[in-house]
Structure 1
Amino acid sequence: MKDFSNSKNSINRRQAIGSTGALFAGLCVSPLAQAIKPITRASRSPLKLSLAAYSMRKYLPDTRRNPKAEGEMDMLGFVDYAATLGVEGAELTSYFMPSPLTDPEKNALKLRAHVLGLDISGGAIGNNFTYNPGSEEGLAQMRYTREWIDHYADIGTPVIRVFGGKPPSSFSEKKAVQNIITNMRIACDYAGDKGVVLAMENHDFLIDIGRMLPIIEAIDSPWFGVCFDSGNIAPTSNPYKELARIAPYSVNAQIKVEIPVNGKKEHTDLARIINILKNANYRGYVTLEYESSEDPYKAIPKYLKKLRGLISLHHT
């Protein structure tokens, strides 16, 4: 097996926004704001396969928890590995990269992907938008989000998957939802100025699709959409039905090999997931985000083969 170890040798839609503090000044969220509509696509461009860096988290350094962490593989090594799998893209993750991320490090990733014939299909961050806009925590989260929008824009990443987050226990559901809407609108304005789409994932507080949909419908930015995550669903007997509700708004799709049915993990019906995306006229990357117990080096190639077969059926 090739060594992918960490090595020094692997190496305007709206007016621009000023300082982070000014982001929140005078902003109000109107219930009358134009709602986002399901995305319409005239093209018949094919679905493409990507691999999420999170799939290799066992081997990557978690710099979010320890800035000095080292792993068996760095992000360049992950890009190298993805290129051996026959995928068209690779999705990066902020908390497996150094912080601050330097220009030479960003340029090295951009160059490596291009030379290997890979798109940087997307990027992921670990934000929490449930905090009050303008609060110390809210400002810190917006600074973090803007920082990584900048980094991903520099790398040439078209879409970033972002979270609603997990609210403090003292917050009501209504307050948390309102905060997510406000913060997401601000972040989308900034992302739009950088030419990057923000894809809000059904994750944490938003695994309840009934809670997520009103947030989706309240954000009218063309730089906003949904990250369809096939494995993050609140307990229900029919998770596929719930996923079909967000598919029409999706600009990114994360595929997991297990899905919760009544809160218990079962093997994902991958054909059914691809069909949900097909029926929603989704286009773009289908990204495998492997989280199961089998060793990723053994499991990932098998699941990519299954997904590629299903995607090719989708194109016939």
Structure 2
Amino acid sequence: MKRREFIKNSSTAALAAAIPAMPSFSPLLRETRFGVAEASYLMRWYRNMESEKYPPFKLALDMIEHCAALGFGGVQVNVRGWDKKYANKVKRRVESDQLFLEGQISLPKDESDVDRFESQIRIATEAGIDIFRTVCLSGRRYENFDTMEAFEEFRKNSLIRLQLAEPLARKHKVKLAVENHKDFRIAGMMEVLKAMDSEWIGVTLDTGNNISLLEDPMEVVKALAPFAFSVHLKDMAVEEYGDGFLLSEVNLGEGILDIEGMIQEIRSKQPEARFNLEMITRDPLKIPCLTEKYWATFDKIPAVELAVFLKGIREQKSTKPLAIVTDKPTDKQLNLEVTNNRVSLEYAKKHLGFK
């Protein structure tokens, strides 16, 4: 597929240069196993879809065993509800299958939640976890907030929560990887990293999320790669609709992203970064960038930038309608989720240099 570039942000390089990067490591330490993020099994975890053939995941080991059998080399999974006995059981399983394991954890909500956070960190390290993916916002900026004031309050609270978490990450010598989760644009994420200025606070670099914030995904990768502890590798497809555009994860190699170039960029800056597939099987997301509400939390962006970005969407739009998932019977939806993950895994091993 011919690759085209999204609009570039000329301030990115200067802003990134102002922040000390994470230390780089020898290419000999490059991780070539290909993992999978919990969200790749969104239906099995969170949709309460009953099926005898594809039973819901209720425990971390359910997903670990499934993904190991499928051929993944690592798993990123939530650590809530674990005790030491369960953590040791998980450790034995991942060591047996020679998997890497990353945790997924919620930041402390406030000081009263610090003990919960530290307890989850402490127990998860018993399973050998040393990288924890987290987010500042569990939703989407343009859906969660109606005013700039509300978004600014979220921004301030995010820093407070990270400041509560950082001493504990440092204490337990674990890396806290904050995902660019449809909340901060490049400049905002850089401000967070600069404010924290900690070797224990980095990024889960999602290769597609910032398209929803009208940013060039390769520019996002270039800016955040020096801070990447972990990666959510995904490919994306787009399509126009009345209020903006539709955005869908698609199997690796079937979308508009320069996946090979992104991997090369990340590895050149952080050879130790781990890669996890995040292929979310769902209906297309609506990015309503032509509505007033969408712009409520953004500083002014020149009209020409929006025009060029939307021109790029039009030029790169999918040649076939983006897939609708929820119109299918339950077992077909669940089968599609497994199939998409398997197809992307096979592509990663055949074309992207993963084992």
TM-score, L = length of structure 1:
0.71
Conserved 8 A contact 1:50-1:89:
yes
After TM superposition, give the deviation of residue 54 of structure 1 in Å: 2.5
After TM superposition, give the deviation of residue 143 of structure 1 in Å: 4.1
1:203–1:144 distance in 2 versus 1, CA, 3 Å: farther
Tell me which protein shows more helix as a share of its residues. 2
Counterpart for residue 236 of structure 2: 258
Q: State the AA in 2 paired with 1:41.
A: S
After TM superposition, give the deviation of residue 158 of structure 1 in Å: 1.0
- Alpha-carbon separation, structure 1, partners of 2:93 and 2:203: 28
After superposing the two structures, state which structure 1 stretch, 247-256 or 51-60, moved more.
51-60
Q: Comparing both chains, which one has the higher relative contact order based on Cα–Cα distances under 8 Å and sequence gaps of 6 or more?
A: 2
Counterpart for residue 40 of structure 1: 23
Q: State the AA in 1 paired with 2:260.
A: A
After TM superposition, give the deviation of residue 308 of structure 1 in Å: 2.5
1:90 counterpart (58, 75, 81): 75
Q: Does 1:224 align with 2:208?
A: no
Q: Does 1:108 align with 2:85?
A: no
Please give the root-mean-square deviation of Cα atoms over the aligned residues, in Å. 3.0
Counterpart for residue 55 of structure 1: 40
**What is the percent sequence identity of the aligned residues?**
18
Counterpart for residue 343 of structure 2: 302
- Alpha-carbon separation, structure 2, partners of 1:260 and 1:159: 32
After TM superposition, give the deviation of residue 284 of structure 1 in Å: 3.0
Conserved 8 A contact 1:185-1:221:
no
Conserved 8 A contact 1:160-1:199:
yes
1:36–1:190 distance in 2 versus 1, CA, 3 Å: farther
Q: Which ranges in structure 2 are unaligned for 5 or more consecutive residues?
A: 1-17, 49-54, 139-143, 249-254, 283-332
After superposition, give the CA deviation of every residue in 1:223-274 in whole Å (9 maximum; x if it has no partner).
Answer: 1111101121143262222232111111111112326697532625222321
After TM superposition, give the deviation of residue 165 of structure 1 in Å: 2.3
- Alpha-carbon separation, structure 2, partners of 1:177 and 1:51: 29
- Alpha-carbon separation, structure 2, partners of 1:55 and 1:245: 25
- Alpha-carbon separation, structure 2, partners of 1:144 and 1:62: 26
Counterpart for residue 81 of structure 1: 66
Conserved 8 A contact 2:174-2:200:
yes
- Alpha-carbon separation, structure 1, partners of 2:74 and 2:203: 19
After superposition, give the CA deviation of every residue in 1:98-156 in whole Å (9 maximum; x if it has no partner).
Answer: x3x22222221111111222221x111244x7xxxxxxx52355444333222322221
1:140–1:257 distance in 2 versus 1, CA, 3 Å: farther
After TM superposition, give the deviation of residue 276 of structure 1 in Å: 2.9
Q: State the AA in 1 paired with 2:225.
A: A
Q: Does 1:278 align with 2:267?
A: yes
SS at match of 1:105: helix
Aligned length: 260
- Alpha-carbon separation, structure 1, partners of 2:120 and 2:145: 24
1:73–1:145 distance in 2 versus 1, CA, 3 Å: closer
1:163–1:56 distance in 2 versus 1, CA, 3 Å: same
2:105 counterpart (121, 125, 132): 125
1:202–1:80 distance in 2 versus 1, CA, 3 Å: same
- Alpha-carbon separation, structure 1, partners of 2:126 and 2:41: 24
SS at match of 2:70: coil
